[in-house]
Copies of this chain bind each other. A is one copy, B any other.
Amino acid sequence: MDPDVVKMVHGAGGVEMQKFIKNYILKYLSGSGAEVPLEFLDDSSVYNGVVLKSDTYTVKPIFFPGSDIGRLAVAGSVNDMLMIGAEPKALAMGLVIEEGFPFNDLERILESVSKTASEAGVYVITGDTKVVEKGALDKIIINMSGIGFRHRYLDHNIGVVAKYRGGVDFRWLLDRNIRPGDKIILTGYIGDHAIALLSVREGVGFKIDIESDASPLNEIVDKALEVGGVVAMKDPTRGGLANLLNEWSDKSGYGIKIYEDKIPIRDEVRAACGYLGLDPLELGNEGKAVIAVVREKAEEVLDAIRGTELGRHAEIIGEVTDEYKFVVMETVIGGRRIVPQPIGDPVPRIC
């Protein structure tokens, strides 16, 4: 790889992106002393009790089965705030539009932003629009930043964790929080979003009856925290489940064991991955969360999640272990295989 220029893989949510962030971004921008600073590389940051999140959406195409860039932007940023234990409250939208972009398409996107924000209980309260000349951008990109505040059930939730742990050393749901014995819940099918996007991508398109399920996860998070015992949450976007579990393992210093037969995946998605040569564990997802829960409360949290519309296919897919320090999958045919952190997401521009 040419070492002197930025490549697609540096934004693709895997090993190379992590190196890029450590070697470049953190080299210049660490040391804030914020409550949850940049260096933690969690899904959101926290300053003085305020959760702050920024994400730019460059998805291609901008309209795809089941969703669009507007819904994706709201749901994606809202979910990253939820994952750390916040209730998202206000969004800031930065639009960059290529000259010649149809107003009809813009209205569809804005309507979708509005509708999704309403589902998530947030408002866009500020923003900015830039227009660049034709050829300087591929249609439209959206930055969705936002703020949130401590979730109303977060203290209760951490209290439940503390009860089983004999105390805790965290105030937010960080990647580093997982400990041996914690159970890992996945809230729904993996791969839908990436496969839906691929099915309509120029030069790849194929016929499949799969829709992207980008959605705000407020209800799932509310129910899980209401039960209590959640130690960490993260959405398996770029780099998929494989990347997420490796990040948790790296940051906590513990291993993770998952069971292949427990991972919710649709037959059509499994089949599509087969003929496209893609590993479903590495595909980016939207509208899904991975939730680590103290063992004693795992079944109860699972039941609460299954009671929600978006969480009805939730499963306990594995657990944290101190037997090793990496991610291992017990396969259906009876063996064990290491699940490595992907180099990058095999499907670019999924969010």
Contact = CB atoms under 8 A, between A and B. Distances in A.
A304 interface: no
A136 interface: yes
Q: Chain copies in the assembly?
A: 2
Given A47-B147, A149-B48, A53 B141 contact: no
**Which label, helix, strand, loop or mixed, suits the secondary structure of the A interface?**
mixed
Contacts of A168: none
Given A37-B125, A44-B126, A90-B32, A8 B53 contact: no
Q: Which 7 A-B pairs have the closest CB atoms?
A: A11-B131, A32-B123, A54-B92, A45-B126, A145-B145, A143-B143, A136-B138
A133 interface: yes
A349 interface: yes
14 contacts: A6-B97, A8-B131, A29-B110, A32-B123, A33-B123, A34-B90, A47-B125, A47-B147, A48-B149, A54-B93, A94-B143, A133-B349, A136-B138, A137-B137
A250 to B, nearest CB: 19
A28 B111 contact: yes
Interface string A83-95: 0000001101111
A98 B8 CA distance: 8
A127 B4 contact: no
A3 B245 CA distance: 49
Interface residues of A, number: 83
A52 B125 contact: yes
A29 B90 contact: no
A345 to B, nearest CB: 11
B145 A45 contact: no
A8 B133 contact: yes
Given A94-B143, A126-B45, A29 B103 contact: no
Nearest to A131: B11
Contact of A97 (B11, B94, B103, B128): B11
A8 B21 CA distance: 33
A44 B90 CA distance: 13
B6 A47 contact: no
A125 B90 contact: no
Contacts of A138: 132, 135-137
A279 interface: no
A96 B56 contact: yes
A124 interface: yes
B137 A21 contact: no
B54 A143 contact: yes
A99 interface: yes
A4 B104 contact: yes
A55 interface: yes
B6 A94 contact: no
Contacts of A44: 126
Interface in A1-24: 3-12, 17, 20-21, 24
Interface in A331-350: 348-349
Interface string A127-162: 111111101111001010111010000000000000
